[in-house]
Amino acid sequence: MNKTLRILPALLLLIAFTSCSSVKVAADYDKAVDFNNYKTFAFFKSGIDKAEINDIDKRRILRAIESELLAKGYTKSEKPDLLVSIFTKSNQRVDVYNNNWGVGAWGWGGPRWGWGWNMQPTVSTSTQGVLYVDLIDANKKELVWQGQGTGYLSKNVDKKEERIKAFVTKIMEKYPPGMEQ
> Which CATH number characterizes residue 52's domain?
3.30.160.670
Nearest to 42 by CA among 106, 137, 162, 122: 137
Q: How many domains does the chain have?
A: 1
Q: Any idea which of 27-36, 78-87, 150-159, 169-178 has the lowest mean pLDDT? A: 150-159
Q: Which of 170, 95, 89, 97 is nearest to 130 (CA)?
A: 89
On whether residue 120 sits in a domain, the answer given is no
Q: Mean per-residue pLDDT for 148-175?
A: 90
List the domain range (segments joined by +) for residue 138: 23-93+127-172
pLDDT digits (tens, 9 = 90+) for 44-100: 999 999 998 899 999 999 999 999 999 999 999 999 999 999 999 888 777 777 755
In the chain, % of residues over pLDDT 90: 54
List the one residue out of 88, 81, 71 whose CA is nearest residue 135: 81
Is residue 111 scored above 70 in pLDDT?
Answer: no
| pLDDT of amino acid 150 | 93
Rounded CA separation 85/129 (Å): 17
